[in-house]
Amino acid sequence: MNSQLADSPFLLACRRRPVPRTPVWYMRQAGRSLPEYRKVRAGTAMLDACATPDLVVEITMQPVLRYGVDAAIFFSDIVVPLRAIGVDLDIKPGVGPVVADPIRDAAGVATLRPLEPDDVPYVSEAVASLVKELDRVPLIGFAGAPFTLASYLIEGGPSKNHDHTKAMMYGAPELWHALMDRLTTITLGFLRIQAEAGAAALQLFDSWVGAVEPDDYRTFVLPYTSRIFAGLADLDVPRIHFGVGTGELLGLLGEAGADVVGVDWRVPLDEAALRVGAGKALQGNLDPAVLLAPWEVVQERAAKVLERGRVAEGHVFNLGHGVLPGTDPDQLARLTEFVQSY
């Protein structure tokens, strides 16, 4: 890693070192809120776009060029490694991932083999091109966490209550553990491939794990997220752990071994710092819906996030979840400037 990259505000904040200013990037910063994204994506299916390095590079660069954010996030999706090992799935616009044959028995679990670099050559290629093109801006690689991937695979698509997922977790714990074990291997493989191609940080998205209570997290999820973070320790890249609705799980998310814990908008950062405990940086946590309000409101709320974030040992400004498709890009441009000059 070049030294200018190591001194970037984003990587310094992740490592809980002093920063010249609070760094900022946004989950889903590339995507439907950007007219330039809608233009290049027109006529190409989401998963085809993810497998086309030139497109991946162009889309990943779009928010960096438009907003001057302090980190880029690799344009891909959490289901890309599953599709790459042969799971029959698609991403339906406005819906999300849809799986043709939901996994609910041992035979289904047995179809999930480890991910090899040769399964996703387009990922290594796009990451390597991006690292060159980004120059002084760190690239964040990412993967879906086992619980969130398990939910899509078991339910067959997006789910409000994760009924089938919990039915397996509570009713067939051996099957659950076998599934989580295989998904852990796949996730770890996907993250290592991105880091080895040059990603400067890695984020694990456990978007839907907030559906689980703490004791169950400890029994049914923590062994796997811990194995993932431990399996990345030798890479010397900051590891970020994020989920939605995880207020009661923040301590456990930290315990799993990440360097940075992502916080949704429901828990103020000063309170989150207490729950996560010492030795972690925090990322977050402006409610993405605030960006739909007039700029004065955004500014006031963003200042509050920045003030509360001072309590953390390191703070990376972000939204509490992804940019909403209806967001005006000019609001994000102003917010980026506001955070960077605060």
Restricting to residues 103-122, which ones interact with ligand CP3 according to CB under 6 A?
Answer: none
Residue from 23, 31, 257, 309 touching ligand CP3 (CB under 6 A): that is 31
For the bound state, the minimum distance from the C-beta of residue 20 to ligand CP3, rounded and expressed in Å, comes to 25
Residue 310 sits at the vertex; the CA angle it makes with 306 and 312, to the nearest 5 degrees, is 115
Tell me how far apart the alpha carbons of residues 47 and 37 are, in angstroms, rounded to a whole number.
Answer: 15
CA angle at 197 for the pair 61 and 37, rounded to the nearest 5°? 20
Query: Is 77 considered catalytic here?
Result: yes
Region of 26-34, 112-120, 126-134, 168-176 interacting with ligand CP3 (CB under 6 A)? 26-34
Asked if 97 interacts with ligand CP3 (CB under 6 A), we say yes
Whether 342 is a known active-site residue: answer: no
Q: How many residues does the chain have?
A: 342
For residue 242, the minimal CB distance to ligand CP3 (Å) is: 8
Q: 10, 67, 122, 142: which one contacts ligand CP3 (CB under 6 A)?
A: 142
Reading the block at residue 252, the tokens are 């456990």
* Residue 315 tokens, joined: 């703070």
Q: Please name which of 57, 189, 71 lies closest in space to residue 128, comparing C-alpha atoms.
A: 57
Catalytic position from the list 15, 17, 28, 266? 28
Options 66, 67, 70, 77, the catalytic residue: 77
Interface residue with ligand CP3 among 10, 56, 67, 77 (CB under 6 A) is 77
Active site residue 32: yes
Task: Show the binding pattern over residues 177-196: x = contacts ligand CP3 (CB under 6 A), - = does not.
Answer: --------------------
16, 26, 37, 41: which is the annotated catalytic residue? 41
Classify 241 as helix, strand or coil: strand
Cβ 142 vs Cβ 73: under 8 Å: yes
Region binding ligand CP3 by CB under 6 A among candidate stretches 30-38, 130-138, 303-311, 312-320: 30-38
Rg of the chain over Cα atoms, rounded to whole angstroms, equals: 19
> Is the C-alpha dihedral spanning 320, 58, 127, 47 positive or negative?
positive
Query: Would strands 96-99 and 89-92 be described as parallel, antiparallel, or unpaired?
Result: antiparallel
Residues assigned a catalytic role = 28, 32, 41, 77, 152
* Residues of the shown chain interacting with ligand CP3 in the complex, contacts defined by CB under 6 A: 27-32, 41, 46, 73, 75, 77-78, 91, 93-97, 142, 205, 207, 322
